[in-house]
């Protein structure tokens, strides 16, 4: 069978790579063409476009890159037409993928969606497009099944969260080896996860690192995104207690005592690695003001959304400042507070459905074909 997969960012590349591995196990003759990144490319198939050419965030940023986005849509349609896949699998990235899905459904292609767009957070009106254009939907968050089936009468499959697979399959990196290879000292590590896109990294790193001098007994290690060069981060390394590792977020989290994390998938990854965290977010003023009027969720981190209560502290916009980060970091370094938080992380993992999301999804896709 021929599979066309579209992932538009780093998290989609991770989940797309695990889905591809499972598809190759389910279908030994699988021919896969995809939009994604290095992880998917390492599995096999044919890369059409790398996600770093696609990743634009925020309302204003998207407007500035509208011409590029429209051009990519045209390229994608032409490539699908030439390839003639048996199924198109969309992974998150709704602004792009739902446009392709509308065209693909009209053109007679099978349309499967793995990792639902977060329409429960905003743009709930997209349910109309999803019902019209998507043949099968595979959701990864427990509350999404009730949202789609209970509220919108659209059948979906809850397959569990693929991050559990990704973390379960991650080889354990010895702490001494990790420190030696990355020229780190013996101090406990506070991981800094500032995101993967230049706009958010630039916004977040300065404020996250503003507390370094308040914690001299720790070393702050920046998790460099695979899509960015070291030269981009170099200007932020202004202190001997600030270091950097590139494309090693999981080994870093395995060896971290605590973490400061920009909102997004990384908040859930950090929790599943059982690392106490503070969630930080600052967007451009215009984008934030627009988002505040559209998004009605109580929380911005996946940890709190899944648990439906504040498990990890969220410091958003003006609250994301040196004073508040210092206070909350001290709190999660306290042993008593950490034990309570780690217990909540165990409950969170249970809610996410255990291992096997990628394999379940691949079986359902191949079975449908």
Write the DSSP assignment of 14-41 as a string of letters.
HHHHHHHHHHHHH-TT-EEEEEE-HHHH
Distances (CA, A) of 108 to 10, 37, 68: 29, 27, 26
Binned at pLDDT 50, 70 and 90, residue 125 comes out as very high
What is the three-class DSSP state of 288? Answer: helix
Given a cut of 60, whether residue 65 has pLDDT beyond it is no
The mean pLDDT value for 221-250 works out to 90
Lowest mean pLDDT among 59-73, 119-133, 154-168: 59-73
Given a cut of 70, whether residue 71 has pLDDT beyond it is yes
Lowest mean pLDDT among 12-16, 80-84, 133-137: 12-16
Rounded Cα gap, residues 337 and 359, in angstroms: 36
Contacts of residue 56, Cβ cutoff 8 Å, sequence gap at least 6? 62, 64, 65, 69, 197
Lowest mean pLDDT among 55-59, 270-274, 307-311: 55-59
What is residue 295's predicted lDDT score, i.e. its pLDDT?
Answer: 59
Given a cut of 60, whether residue 286 has pLDDT beyond it is no
Structural contact between residues 113 and 96, judged by C-beta atoms closer than 8 angstroms: no
Lowest mean pLDDT among 30-39, 65-74, 168-177, 318-327: 65-74
pLDDT tens by residue, 181-196: 999 999 999 999 998 8
What is residue 263's predicted lDDT score, i.e. its pLDDT?
Answer: 81
Long-range contacts of 176-185 (CB under 8 A, 24+ apart): 178/248, 178/251, 178/252, 178/254, 178/255, 179/255, 182/221, 182/243, 182/245, 182/248, 183/243, 184/219, 184/221, 184/243, 185/219
Given a cut of 70, whether residue 73 has pLDDT beyond it is yes
DSSP 125-176: GGHHHHHHH-SEEEE-SHHHHIIIIIIH----EE---HHHHHHHTSPPPPHH
Mean pLDDT taken over the chain: 91
Given a cut of 70, whether residue 266 has pLDDT beyond it is yes
Question: What letter does residue 96 receive in the DSSP assignment?
Answer: H
Rounded Cα gap, residues 51 and 12, in angstroms: 9
Strands (E), the chain: 2-7, 31-36, 46-50, 87-91, 111-114, 136-139, 157-158, 189-193, 219-224, 242-246, 256-262, 277-281, 314-316
Contacts of residue 22, Cβ cutoff 8 Å, sequence gap at least 6? 358, 359, 361, 362, 363
Structural contact between residues 344 and 311, judged by C-beta atoms closer than 8 angstroms: yes
What is residue 298's predicted lDDT score, i.e. its pLDDT?
Answer: 82
The mean pLDDT value for 99-115 works out to 98
Instruction: Report the sign of the C-alpha dihedral through residues 262, 5, 43, 56, in that order.
Output: negative
Contacts of residue 153, Cβ cutoff 8 Å, sequence gap at least 6? none
Contacts of residue 322, Cβ cutoff 8 Å, sequence gap at least 6? 207, 210, 211
The mean pLDDT value for 294-310 works out to 84
Pick the more confident residue, 41 or 235: 41
Rounded Cα gap, residues 190 and 89, in angstroms: 37
pLDDT tens by residue, 25-55: 999 999 999 999 999 999 999 999 999 876 5
Q: What is the separation of C-alpha 296 from the centre of its chain, rounded to a whole number of angstroms?
A: 21
The mean pLDDT value for 305-313 works out to 94
Q: pTM above the 0.85 mark?
A: no
Binned at pLDDT 50, 70 and 90, residue 287 comes out as low
Given a cut of 70, whether residue 257 has pLDDT beyond it is yes
Pick the more confident residue, 210 or 289: 210
Sheet containing 277-281, strands listed edge to edge, beginning at the edge strand earlier in sequence = 242-246, 219-224, 189-193, 256-262, 277-281, 314-316
Beta bridge partners of 91: 7, 114
Phi and psi, residue 9, nearest 5°: -155, 180
| % of residues, the chain, pLDDT over 70 | 92
Given a cut of 80, whether residue 280 has pLDDT beyond it is yes
Instruction: Give the CA count within 13 Å in the CB-facing half-sphere of 249.
Output: 27
Q: Closest by alpha carbon to 114, among 227, 226, 20?
A: 20
What is residue 9's predicted lDDT score, i.e. its pLDDT?
Answer: 85
Ranges 10-14, 226-230, 280-284, 292-296, most confident: 10-14
């Amino acid at each position: 069978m021929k599979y066309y997969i579209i992932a538009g960012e780093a998290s989609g590349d991770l989940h797309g790579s695990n889905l591809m591995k499972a598809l190759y196990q389910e279908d030994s003759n699988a021919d896969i063409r995809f939009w994604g990144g290095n992880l998917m490319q390492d599995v096999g198939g044919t890369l059409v476009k790398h996600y770093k050419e696609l990743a634009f965030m925020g309302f204003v940023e998207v407007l500035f890159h509208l011409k590029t986005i429209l051009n990519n849509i045209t390229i994608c349609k032409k490539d699908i037409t030439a390839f003639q896949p048996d199924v198109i699998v969309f992974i998150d990235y709704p602004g792009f993928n739902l446009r392709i899905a509308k065209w693909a459904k009209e053109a007679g292609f099978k349309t499967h969606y793995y990792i639902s767009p977060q329409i429960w957070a905003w743009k709930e009106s997209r349910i109309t497009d999803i019902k019209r254009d998507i043949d099968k939907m595979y959701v990864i968050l427990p509350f999404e099944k009730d949202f789609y089936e209970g509220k919108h009468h659209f059948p979906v499959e809850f397959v569990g969260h693929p991050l559990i697979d990704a973390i379960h399959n991650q080889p354990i990196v010895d702490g001494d080896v990790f420190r030696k290879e990355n020229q780190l000292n013996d101090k406990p590590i506070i991981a800094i996860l500032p995101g993967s896109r230049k706009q958010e990294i630039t916004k977040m790193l300065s404020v996250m690192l503003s507390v370094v001098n308040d914690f001299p007994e720790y070393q702050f290690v920046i998790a460099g995104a695979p899509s960015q060069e070291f030269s981009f981060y170099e200007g932020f390394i202004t202190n001997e207690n600030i270091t950097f590792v590139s494309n090693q977020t999981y080994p870093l989290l395995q060896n971290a005592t605590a973490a400061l994390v920009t909102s997004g998938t990384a908040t859930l990854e950090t929790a599943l690695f059982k690392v106490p965290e503070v969630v930080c977010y600052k967007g451009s003023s215009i984008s934030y003001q627009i988002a505040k009027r559209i998004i009605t969720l109580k929380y911005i981190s996946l940890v709190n959304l899944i648990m439906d209560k504040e498990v990890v502290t969220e410091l958003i916009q003006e609250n994301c400042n040196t004073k508040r980060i210092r206070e909350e970091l001290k709190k999660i370094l306290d042993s008593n507070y950490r034990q309570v938080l780690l217990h909540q992380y165990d409950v969170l993992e249970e809610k996410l459905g255990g291992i096997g999301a990628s394999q379940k999804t691949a079986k359902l896709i191949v079975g449908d074909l």
